[in-house]
Amino acid sequence: MIKLAFYDTKPYDKIWFDKYCEEFGIKIKYYDVKLSEETAVLARDCDCVCTFVNDDVSKATIERLLFKKIKLIALRCAGYNNVDLKAAKDKITVVRVPEYSPYAVAEHGMGMILCLNRKLHRAYIRTRDFNFSLVRMTGFDLNGKTVGIIGIGKIGKVFADICSGFGMKVIAYDPFIKENKFKNIELVSFDELCQRADIISLHCPLTKDNHHLINIDAINKMKDGVFILNTSRGGLINSDSLIDGLKSGKIGGAALDVYEEESDLFFEDMSGETDRDEKMATLLSMPNVLITSHQAFLTNEALENIALVTLKNIKNFFENNEAENEVIYKENI
Phi, psi of 37 (to 5 degrees): -60, -35
Catalytic residue among 128, 262, 301, 331: 262
The yes-or-no answer on residue 108 being catalytic is no
Q: Is the pLDDT of residue 292 over 80?
A: yes
Q: Could you tell me the pTM of the whole model? A: 0.92
Q: Averaged over 273-282, what is the pLDDT?
A: 93
Q: Averaged over 68-75, what is the pLDDT?
A: 97
The yes-or-no answer on residue 107 being catalytic is no
Query: What is the spatial distance between Cα 230 and Cα 93, in angstroms, rounded to a whole number?
Result: 30
Q: Averaged over 44-58, what is the pLDDT?
A: 96
State percent of the chain over pLDDT 70.
Answer: 99
pLDDT at 329: 87
The yes-or-no answer on residue 294 being catalytic is yes
Q: Is the pLDDT of residue 101 over 90?
A: yes
Query: What is the spatial distance between Cα 170 and Cα 187, in angstroms, rounded to a whole number?
Result: 9
Query: What is the spatial distance between Cα 270 and Cα 291, in angstroms, rounded to a whole number?
Result: 15
Listed in order, the ranges of the chain carrying CATH 3.40.50.720 are 2-100+299-320, 102-291
Domain boundaries 2-100+299-320, corresponding CATH code = 3.40.50.720
- Give the confidence band of 333 by pLDDT, cuts at 50, 70, 90: very low
Other beta carbons less than 10 A from residue 170's beta carbon: 23
Q: Averaged over 271-300, what is the pLDDT?
A: 95
pLDDT at 66: 96
Query: What is the spatial distance between Cα 78 and Cα 110, in angstroms, rounded to a whole number?
Result: 20
The topology (CATH level 3) of 102-291 is Rossmann fold (3.40.50)
Strands 48-51 and 72-75: parallel
Helix residue ranges, H only, 211-267: 216-221, 239-248
Catalytic residue among 192, 294, 304, 331: 294
Q: Is 173 helix (H, G, I), strand (E, B) or coil?
A: strand
Catalytic residue among 108, 203, 233, 260: 233
